[in-house]
Structure 1
Amino acid sequence: MVRLPLTVAEVERGARLGALLRRARGARSMLDIALDAGVSPETLRKIELGRVATPAFPTIAAIAEVVGLSLDAVWAEISEPERETVEPAGARAPRERLAS
């Protein structure tokens, strides 16, 4: 299965999510948060750095709970401001099933 490239909006949303989680973590170690949330420290690091721009919902829910964020607060942070980005025509191809 081929992964489609992320849009500019998805990359920006991932960066906002990572910054929010870093701020909420505060002085607590990444290792402590990751272990308490049941995710690997590497996964948390990648999310905080914005390298995983679209993490799974259960992962975010677990981390948010550990750092004391409501999912409403997370959504408010990552959904605003939704900047309108115009992609050139044909920049993102429709999702098609690739033949093996």
Structure 2
Amino acid sequence: MVRTPLTPEEHRRGERLGALLRQARGGRSMVEVAASAGISPETLRKIETGRAPTPAFFTVAALAGALGLSMDELLVHCAPGPALTSLPERALAPVAGSPAALPLTA
């Protein structure tokens, strides 16, 4: 099966998604976030750097859950149109019940 080449807008959308995920990850390591989402650190690295600009829906959903982001916030940030320069503070607030909202234990 031959895959249709991505458009420049699809590449830009992937870059916006990567930037959003990096910002939401903050000081957490890629390994920690990837494990929480059930994906490999290499997959997260590719998404964050834009090398995988169109990740699978369930991968994005798992990352959103691991980072405490809502799918609505991802859509607003990554939809076609002018890119947001940074996330509003409410976008970085953990979603109630998400792993990011729970305290870490040693």
- TM-score bucket (shorter structure): 0.7 to 0.9
Could you list the structure 1 runs, at least 4 aligned residues long, displaced by more than 6 angstroms after superposition.
none
For the pair shown, the structure with the greater C-alpha radius of gyration is: 1
Partners in 1 of 2:16 and 2:58 — Cα distance? 18
User: Following superposition of structure 1 onto structure 2, how do residues 1-100 of structure 1 map, counting pairs within 5 Å?
Assistant: 1-81=1-81
Partners in 1 of 2:48 and 2:33 — Cα distance? 12
Alignment size in residue pairs: 83
Q: Which runs of 5+ in 1 are unaligned?
A: 84-100
Q: Which runs of 5+ in 2 are unaligned?
A: 84-106
Cα RMSD of the aligned pairs, angstroms, is: 1.4
Q: Which has the higher contact order (CA 8 A, sep 6+)?
A: 1
TM-score w.r.t. the length of structure 1 is 0.79
3-state DSSP of counterpart to 1:43:
helix
What fraction of aligned residue pairs are identical, expressed as a percent?
58
